[in-house]
């Protein structure tokens, strides 16, 4: 499917800076939730301020103990701050985002804005939108049937192999998944780069659309689908975010995501009986819900079968070595294919001048040893993420639902 659509996709990329609508067609509220983000927040604000069009940036501070608020207040521009204080702070990203909604409602009323033309977006404190994002969002929301939009996600300046893996995962694998989901009308929102039309969301979901799941973006996706709202995906504009630099942080992050998926199981009965969700959307959700369980069973099966195979042929070391080597090479096929597509995607986006930062595409000039490491990590990352699944199941069983935020380096 990817290679069949490559030519029209390439043409769309080359046209990515053109818009069918006026740049001031919509008014954007850009929400930036923050908890101890002094190291990145000013750069994020400056990048957001450079975006064209009408906008109001709202920084939601979740009782930071560093100089986040000082950095925000030092930055001139259409920036507002909403402050949460303990014990009513640090209760999850969804709660934090909901806390800003009354401020948006008041701003719309006081400035006599048309709620239908007001767009609410979310970017992380390290997020940067590509310079054509507003144009592509305008083109999407000019369609009256579009209620929400998810931008493509990319890792910022991935230098280490672990960061490159995350870039391939988001910029390529997740991108292809979203393109496939677009054909099924089952696009999923991400925590970074999500935008929705204020009027349609508040009409259906109220002024607190986000839930309290650890995976608040997917919970919002389910809430929208349960109310028949339409989510679109944009692949020719993207949002940058920092990649994790340590395996430990990656395991903790993915454990939170897995547990967030378990949190969303509370919607299962409503999904089964829903008249608004399509059959395809329902099956997409079922697969998402049960994927961690299937992955866990697959991991245990691989461990068992590998151990059984080794013990069965322990007396024939030559055959054992050749067989394991052959299986390992076959296992690298998955990583090889996606690494090749990733390099092609970098070249296409670079040629279309969509690159936010030149270092975002430094992997175009991949050194051979890094290619091999990246391919191996993509192919066998399940070995590492196996521990994330175990942690998430354990936390869910003991009722631990605290938000484990990744600290900035």
User: In this model, does residue 2 exceed pLDDT 60?
Assistant: no
Q: With bands split at pLDDT 50, 70 and 90, how would you rate the model's confidence at 356?
A: confident
Spatial strand order in the sheet of 231-241 = 79-83, 54-61, 27-34, 118-122, 194-197, 148-155, 231-241, 128-129
* Same domain membership, residue 312 and residue 232: no
Dihedral class, residue 93 (left if φ above 0, else alpha if ψ from -120 to 50, else beta): alpha
Q: In this predicted structure, what is the pLDDT of residue 177?
A: 95
Higher pLDDT, 394 or 34: 34
Span 196-226, pLDDT tens digits: 999 999 999 999 999 999 999 999 999 999 9
Q: Report whether 119 contacts 195 (CB < 8 A).
A: yes
User: In this model, does residue 97 exceed pLDDT 90?
Assistant: yes
Average per-residue pLDDT in the chain?
90
Is residue 119 one of the residues assigned to a domain? yes
User: In this model, does residue 239 exceed pLDDT 90?
Assistant: yes
* Same domain membership, residue 103 and residue 243: yes
Top-ranked range on mean pLDDT: pick from 14-18, 129-133, 148-152, 295-299 = 148-152
The DSSP secondary-structure symbol of 170 reads: I
* Same domain membership, residue 218 and residue 298: no
Is residue 259 one of the residues assigned to a domain? no
* Same domain membership, residue 304 and residue 200: no
* Same domain membership, residue 219 and residue 109: yes
DSSP string computed for 46-102: HHHHTS-SEEEEEEEE---SSSHHHHHHTS-SSEEEEE--TTSSSS-HHHHHHHHHH
Q: In this predicted structure, what is the pLDDT of residue 127?
A: 95
Q: In this predicted structure, what is the pLDDT of residue 9?
A: 58
Q: In this predicted structure, what is the pLDDT of residue 351?
A: 82
What are the backbone angles phi and psi of residue 233, rounded to the nearest 5°?
-115, 135
Residue 266 has a CB neighbour count (10 Å cut-off) of 12
Q: With bands split at pLDDT 50, 70 and 90, how would you rate the model's confidence at 15?
A: low
User: In this model, does residue 258 exceed pLDDT 70?
Assistant: yes
Measured CA to CA, the distance from residue 60 to residue 99 in angstroms comes to: 8
* Same domain membership, residue 35 and residue 76: yes
User: In this model, does residue 288 exceed pLDDT 60?
Assistant: yes
Measured CA to CA, the distance from residue 183 to residue 22 in angstroms comes to: 28
Is residue 367 one of the residues assigned to a domain? yes
Measured CA to CA, the distance from residue 336 to residue 315 in angstroms comes to: 33
Mean pLDDT of 274-299: 92
Higher pLDDT, 371 or 393: 393
Strand boundaries in 67-144, DSSP class E: 79-83, 118-122, 128-129
124-138, 139-153, 310-324: least confident range:
310-324
* Same domain membership, residue 227 and residue 351: no
Q: Report whether 72 contacts 79 (CB < 8 A).
A: yes
Q: In this predicted structure, what is the pLDDT of residue 13?
A: 61
Measured CA to CA, the distance from residue 264 to residue 396 in angstroms comes to: 12
Measured CA to CA, the distance from residue 315 to residue 166 in angstroms comes to: 40
Measured CA to CA, the distance from residue 123 to residue 129 in angstroms comes to: 8
Is residue 21 one of the residues assigned to a domain? yes
Number of domains in the chain: 2
Residue 356 has a CB neighbour count (10 Å cut-off) of 20
Is residue 403 one of the residues assigned to a domain? no
* Same domain membership, residue 328 and residue 223: no
* Same domain membership, residue 368 and residue 236: no
For the question of whether the overall pTM of this predicted structure is more than 0.85, the answer is yes
Range of the domain at 299: 279-398
Q: Which of 227, 248, 269 is the last residue of a domain?
A: 248
Q: In this predicted structure, what is the pLDDT of residue 10?
A: 60
* Same domain membership, residue 234 and residue 311: no
User: In this model, does residue 327 exceed pLDDT 60?
Assistant: yes
Q: Which residues contact 341 (CB under 8 A, 6 or more apart)?
A: 2, 172, 176
User: In this model, does residue 319 exceed pLDDT 90?
Assistant: no
Q: In this predicted structure, what is the pLDDT of residue 300?
A: 86
Is residue 105 one of the residues assigned to a domain? yes
Dihedral class, residue 75 (left if φ above 0, else alpha if ψ from -120 to 50, else beta): beta
Kindly list the distances between the CA atom of residue 279 and the CA atoms of 183, 184, 285, in Å, as whole numbers in the listed order. 13, 10, 10
Q: Report whether 366 contacts 156 (CB < 8 A).
A: no
* Same domain membership, residue 315 and residue 228: no
Q: With bands split at pLDDT 50, 70 and 90, how would you rate the model's confidence at 334?
A: confident
Q: In this predicted structure, what is the pLDDT of residue 6?
A: 56
Mean pLDDT of 354-373: 78
Top-ranked range on mean pLDDT: pick from 22-26, 206-210, 319-323 = 206-210
Pairing of strands 231-241, 128-129: antiparallel
Above pLDDT 90, what percent of the chain?
66
Mean pLDDT of 1-12: 56
What tokens does 178 get?
């979203």
Higher pLDDT, 185 or 9: 185
Q: In this predicted structure, what is the pLDDT of residue 85?
A: 95
Mean pLDDT of 65-87: 96
Helix (H, G, I), strand (E, B), or coil: what is residue 386? helix
Q: What is the CATH number of the domain that holds 119?
A: 3.90.550.10
Pairing of strands 194-197, 27-34: unpaired
Place of tokens 């003991």: 398
**Which has the closest alpha carbon to 61: 91, 34, 29?**
34
Q: In this predicted structure, what is the pLDDT of residue 320?
A: 85
Is residue 271 one of the residues assigned to a domain? no
Place of tokens 């009409």: 203
What tokens does 399 get?
């009722």
Q: Report whether 282 contacts 276 (CB < 8 A).
A: no
Q: In this predicted structure, what is the pLDDT of residue 4?
A: 52
Is residue 142 one of the residues assigned to a domain? yes
Q: Report whether 116 contacts 199 (CB < 8 A).
A: yes
* Same domain membership, residue 128 and residue 58: yes
User: In this model, does residue 231 exceed pLDDT 60?
Assistant: yes
The DSSP secondary-structure symbol of 111 reads: T
Above pLDDT 70, what percent of the chain?
93
């Amino acid at each position: 499917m990817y290679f069949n659509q490559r030519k029209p996709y390439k043409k769309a990329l080359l046209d990515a800076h053109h818009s069918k609508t006026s740049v001031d067609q919509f008014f954007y509220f850009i929400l930036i939730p923050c908890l101890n983000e002094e190291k990145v927040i000013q750069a994020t604000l400056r990048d957001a301020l450079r975006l064209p069009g009408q906008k109001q940036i709202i920084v939601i501070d979740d009782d930071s103990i560093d100089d986040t608020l000082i950095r925000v207040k030092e930055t001139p521009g259409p920036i507002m701050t909403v402050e949460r204080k303990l014990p009513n702070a640090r209760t999850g990203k969804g709660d934090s985002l909901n806390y800003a909604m009354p401020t948006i409602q008041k701003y719309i009323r006081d400035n006599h804005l048309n709620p239908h033309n007001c767009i609410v977006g979310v970017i992380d404190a390290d997020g940067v939108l590509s310079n054509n994002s507003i144009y592509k969002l305008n083109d999407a929301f000019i369609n009256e049937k579009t209620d929400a939009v998810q931008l493509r996600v990319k890792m910022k300046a991935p230098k280490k192999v672990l960061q490159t893996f995350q870039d391939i995962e988001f910029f390529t694998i997740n991108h292809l998944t979203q393109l496939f989901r677009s054909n099924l009308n089952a696009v999923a929102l991400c925590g970074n780069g999500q935008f929705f039309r204020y009027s349609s969301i508040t009409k259906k979901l109220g002024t607190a659309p986000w839930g309290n799941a650890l995976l608040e973006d997917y919970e919002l996706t389910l809430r929208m689908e349960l109310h028949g709202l339409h989510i679109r995906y944009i692949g020719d504009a993207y949002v940058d975010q920092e990649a994790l630099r340590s395996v430990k942080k990656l395991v903790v992050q993915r454990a939170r995501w897995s547990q967030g998926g378990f949190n969303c199981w509370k919607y299962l009965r409503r999904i089964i009986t829903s008249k608004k969700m399509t059959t395809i959307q329902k099956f997409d959700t079922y697969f998402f819900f049960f994927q961690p369980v299937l992955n866990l069973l697959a991991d245990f099966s691989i461990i068992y079968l590998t151990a059984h195979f080794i013990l069965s042929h322990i007396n024939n070391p030559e055959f054992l070595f050749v067989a394991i080597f052959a299986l390992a090479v076959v296992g690298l096929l998955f990583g090889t294919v996606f690494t090749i597509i990733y390099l092609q995607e970098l070249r296409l986006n670079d040629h279309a001048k969509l690159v936010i930062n030149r270092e975002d595409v430094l992997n175009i000039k991949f050194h051979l040893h890094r290619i091999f490491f990246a391919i191996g990590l993509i192919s066998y990352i399940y070995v590492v993420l196996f521990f994330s699944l175990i942690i998430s199941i354990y936390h869910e069983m003991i009722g631990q639902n605290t938000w484990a935020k990744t600290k900035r380096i």
